Amino acid sequence: MNNKDEKPAIKLTVVQYLIVGILAVLLSGLWRLQILGANNYRALAEQNRIRKVPILAPRGKLFDREGRLIVDNYPSVSCFLIREQGHDIAPDLPLIARGLHMTEEQLDAILKHYRLAPKYQPLPLKQDITPDEVEFIEAHRDEFPELETVDEQRRLYPRDGFAAHLIGYVGEVSEDMLNDPKYAYYEPGDVVGKSGIEQSYDQLLRGADGSRDVVVDSHGREVGRLGTEPAKPGTSLKLTIDLDIQKAAELALGDRNGAMIAMDPHTGEILALVSRPTFDPNEFSVRIRRDEWNKLITDPNHPLLDKAIQAQLAPGSTFKIIMAAAGLQAGVAEDMKVHCPGGASFYGHYFKCWQKGGHGEVNISKAIYQSCDVFFYTLAQKLGIDKIAYFAQHFGIGSKTGIDLPGEVSGTMPSTEWKMKNYHQKWYAGEVISVGIGQGAVTATPVQMARAIAGITSGGVLRRPHLVFPDEVAPDYRQAMLDSYPGSGDSELKIDPENWQIITDAMAQVMSPGGTDPSAHLEGIDFAGKTGSAQVASNAFLARTGKTHVMKDNAWFVGVSPRRNPDIVVCTLMESGEHGRFAGRLAAQVIAAFVDKQRRLDNNLQEAKKATPVEVGAIWSNPKPGASPGTIEASELHGGHFFLNSDSAGHPSASSLAAFTPLAAGRR
């Protein structure tokens, strides 16, 4: 009987302990949930209740040097997918696709593209949606709470590809870019600059996105709003571009394939930059269609290539100005005279001159303005490749200029060291002959030639080309830009005043009746330059393939105004343009537009300061030699050249030659 009573008592005790254990587990779980994990679960609950909606920052605008708007923004609406609700939208894709005027394949491709993106990140389904697509989203809020509309500012570029290569375009950041440390702070779906100024100054232009917190119910529907973190707009930039000069360059080049660049040699400020063929950057401001993209990248004329900084071609006879500077500075060319019968033999080979019948007796000046090949063949033989390379490299040939645009190429300046390094072969003396006329292995870009000729006509002072005024950005950002776009930058190779005068006076005669481009003459404007025609293939190759009529010479021209210490340099490249004189006529249009504008500004300045005496010391005006030194009137200053006396005898010195130009408001 006692044994039977003990067994129920043990069972009851076991059950009691079991119940106590279960309660202890439940109480500990409740403790963990309500006490230890309170903050964590409260945060999770807030996330289920609060949704972050992005506020996209507008990009900074772009203005020209006078504050005129070049690139603006326009209001747009985009559709984003919010995935925080965990709802499977696969069954809803057909209806969403119809409402957004997309295909299911397009939507599926977008979802796959962002499959690794964090769940909290909204995914862009369609940009720049239409009003009826906005109405579709609003009408289906209950069915598709995951669809969110976001207001944003989208890029508005000039029409017809105006200044497209210098401005660039924006697009969605690619996966390759996201793997680059440079883009460490970007996320999938972000819009970034892809070329031109848009790319090089992207960090300033893009700003910082904001967000707003909205309260949603269990179905993801918005029921209220909390705080807002406003977006920080991007920094607007004033470019060195002059819209008037840019328009003149665009009109001058027209539909011809090639490039044109205009620069202020005093500062390196780019006044105009054109490349043809061009493209419409507005096509990229939303999302370019695949067929349009394929058309651009397969076009044999390469519309996306900025030929002003990326076309590395033989510079032809424009290189003869560098040869002349090298020959004069080396003491070889000043008294050198050559008879040109139409060709000459060097190292067992006969080299023709472009002028049938030749140029007769030729000195350095005549060789420049009549572009005598035989003279420069002979000069190249006397100098040798390494001495030519020394001077050419000091004038920036074979090096990037450091212009603040992405993708600049360096060109090539051959030398004995260059050939051994790249081809493991020695340099043969006969190879220098073609280099003497800007052919052979030497290649350059239009921006390099513009900077080189600007430096020579400025007495040997070369400036770093740039498109944004240095004071537009902070010093540390400016330094970062200089480090990001390395190049030869500012430099100087002082040219003797006598040599400087010989070269620049000969360049001015290029537009005379005895020069190679009299058709580019500008009445009343001190305009100097050099024509160039450069073969794209050897004569033997053209004869063998029969492509003489297809592979025509490239036409080059580099011009300055005035001839010494110029205020503007213009380099023109016409692909298959045949003759440099054709390129010279185009450059003359830009020079004329620049000078006419400066004269209008100067006249306005003179009207404001009529007959105001200006004490300038002893001045001799050119082209009015013999004028007495003393005080002159501001109304007498017309941007000519003036000799400032520097010796005790009161005579003008060639070493003190300087350009004296009245400064209009806002100019140097």
Query: What kind and span of H or E run contains 317?
Result: none
Helix 446-457 and helix 320-329, axial crossing angle in degrees, nearest 10: 40
Q: Do domains 51-238 and 243-293+309-602 have the same CATH topology?
A: no
Contact partners, residue 527, CB within 8 Å, separation at least 6: 508, 511, 520, 521, 559, 560, 561, 562, 563, 588, 591
Rounded to the nearest 5 degrees, what angle is found at the Cα of 319, between the Cα atoms of 596 and 239?
Answer: 45
Predicted pLDDT at 82: 79
What would the two tokens of residue 481 be? Answer: 């830009």
pLDDT > 90: what percent of the chain?
55
Residue 432 and residue 388 in contact, taking contact as beta carbons nearer than 8 Å = yes
Cα–chain center distance at 656: 36
Rounded to the nearest 5 degrees, what angle is found at the Cα of 403, between the Cα atoms of 310 and 663?
Answer: 125
Which residues face 478 on adjacent strands?
none
Cα separation, 88 vs 380, whole angstroms: 75
Measure the CA dihedral 87/93/96/101, to 10°. 150
Q: Report strand pairing: 641-644 vs 619-622.
A: antiparallel
Query: What CATH number was assigned to the domain covering residues 51-238?
Result: 3.90.1310.10
Predicted pLDDT at 80: 86
Predicted pLDDT at 646: 38
Predicted pLDDT at 343: 97
* Count of C-beta atoms within a 10 Å radius of residue 439: 19
- Per the document, the length of the chain is 668
Cα separation, 369 vs 346, whole angstroms: 23
Which amino acid is present at 495?
A: I
Predicted pLDDT at 665: 35
Residue 306 and residue 275 in contact, taking contact as beta carbons nearer than 8 Å = yes
Alpha carbon separation from 438 to 388, 411, 556 (Å, rounded): 11, 12, 11
Strands (E), 575-665: 613-614, 619-622, 632-633, 641-644, 657-659
477: left (phi over 0), alpha (psi -120 to 50) or beta: alpha
Measure the CA dihedral 105/107/108/113, to 10°. 120
Cα separation, 490 vs 486, whole angstroms: 11
Q: Taking the model in full, what pTM does it have? A: 0.79
Phi, psi of 167 (to 5 degrees): -75, -45
Residue 155 and residue 280 in contact, taking contact as beta carbons nearer than 8 Å = no
DSSP state, residue 634: G
Phi, psi of 36 (to 5 degrees): -70, -40
SS3 530: strand
Q: Where are the domains of the chain?
A: 51-238, 243-293+309-602, 609-659
Cβ burial, residue 335 (10 Å; 0-12/13-18/19+): exposed
Alpha carbon separation from 533 to 369, 439, 508, 559 (Å, rounded): 14, 10, 19, 15
Q: Report strand pairing: 191-193 vs 170-172.
A: antiparallel
Residue-wise pLDDT tens digits, 243-281: 999 999 999 999 999 999 999 999 999 999 999 999 999
Q: Is the CA virtual torsion 375, 377, 379, 382 positive or negative?
A: negative
Predicted pLDDT at 9: 74
DSSP string, 75-131: EEEEEEE--TT----GGGHHHHHHHTT--HHHHHHHHHHTTTS-TTS-EEEESS--H
The residue written with tokens 């004038």 in the block is 395
CATH 3.10.310.40 matches 243-293+309-602: no
What would the two tokens of residue 137 be? Answer: 């989203």
Residues of the chain with pLDDT under 50: 1, 611-668
